[in-house]
Structure 1
Amino acid sequence: MATMVIVSDAVVQLLRSHGFTGWSLYDVAVRDKQGQLVPGHHGLAITGRCGNIDWASGIEVPRIRPTGIFPVWKGLFFDPDSWDGSDFFMPAERVGHKLVVEEVKKAFERAKIRNVEFTRLDQFERSWKL
C-alpha cells in the first residue's frame, strides 16, 4: 500500500543541506480546517530503488496476544546488490515501504523532526508467512 508523504520546508532544507539522495518533490495543496491554504509543504517522492523484498526470509518469533500465542516473522530482506545506493529508496515492487540509511534517521533526530517513525530492518515484523 502506497502512502503519500508530505514534508515541510524545514525537512526539505534538512535533506538538501545533507545532500541526501533518492528523493524528489512534487506540488501539493495542504489546507487547514477552515479550508485555507497552508504554505510551505511538498510531496516527497522516493526515487531510489532496491530489488524486491524477499518475503520468504524472516525469523519466526512467538508473540503473546490477548487471544493466544501467535508467530510473527522478523526482518525485511532484499538483495544488497540490487540497491542503487540512494539514501532514500523503495523496493522495486513498490509495496509501500520507504527505506532510508542510518544517516537520514540520525539527521532527523538531531533536527528534532516530528511525526516520523523509523524501524530497523532487522526489527520489522509481519504477521504472515509465504
Structure 2
Amino acid sequence: MDLGKKMFFCMFSGQESKEIILKSNFNDDFFDVKLGIVDYDHPIKTNVKFGNRFYDVLFFDDGVNIVVSKRLFTLLKTNEITGWKTYPLNIKNVHENYYGFQIVGRCGKLMEPKNEGFYKGYKFDVETWDFSDFFSPKDTSLVFVNQKLKELFVENEITNIHLVNIKDVEAYTDGL
C-alpha cells in the first residue's frame, strides 16, 4: 500500500484558553500509560493543577497523557473508532465525566533522515500499520489519526486538539 495515497494526521494539544491541566499521579511510566501497556481497573485519582475551562480533550502535566470527555468517548464508541481504550478517572471536585485515554493502535518506527537537523514530514512504512483509526509509531508517544477520524473530529467540533497532516509536521533528528 502506498502511504502517499493515505492521509494521516498528528494530534497535538489545541492549547485552548484557560484549558484545565491535570496533575499526573501515575505510579507507572508515563509512556506505558499512554500506550496502553498498563491497565487500570480502579480510578486514577487526580486534581486540576491549573486552568478552569473544560474541553473535549484535557492533558496531564506530564506532557504525555490525555483524558477525553464523556461526549468524545460516546462519539468514538458510536462510530466504532479503533486503536484506543480508556481507564477510570476521578478528578477531585469535578463532576463532569472524563476518561483516561490510551492509544493501542500501532505502526512501525518513523523513518528519519540520517543527518542531524530539522526536517519536514513524518514517514513510516504503511505495511507496519495495524489499520487502527488512532495509532502511535513505535518508540514514540505521538498520536496519529486517519482521515476518517479527522473528519469526525471536525464535523463534531471536538475541542482542544490540533491536527496537522504528518507530511507537514516539522521535526528534529539527532541523526543517530
TM category (shorter chain) comes to: 0.7 to 0.9
Contact kept in structure 1, 2:113 and 2:173, CA below 8 Å: no
Q: Give 1:57 deviation, angstroms.
A: 7.1
Contact kept in structure 2, 1:29 and 1:38, CA below 8 Å: no
CA distance 1:57–1:7, change in 2 (3 Å): farther
User: In the alignment, what sits opposite 1:12?
Assistant: 73
1:42 to 89, 99, 104: 99
The structure whose Rg is larger is 1
Q: Give 1:129 deviation, angstroms.
A: 4.8
Contact kept in structure 2, 1:55 and 1:129, CA below 8 Å: no
CA RMSD across the alignment: 1.9
Q: Give 1:119 deviation, angstroms.
A: 0.9
The 1-side partners of 2:80 and 2:108 are apart by 23
The 2-side partners of 1:20 and 1:45 are apart by 13
Taking only the aligned residue pairs, the percentage that are identical comes to 27
The 2-side partners of 1:29 and 1:57 are apart by 44
Contact kept in structure 2, 1:73 and 1:129, CA below 8 Å: no
Count the aligned residue pairs.
113
Task: Give the TM-score, by structure 1 length.
Answer: 0.79
Deviations 1:51-70 (A, max 9, x none): 01112279xxxxxxxxxxxx
Which 4+ runs in 1 deviate beyond 3 A? none
Secondary structure of 1:16's counterpart equals: helix
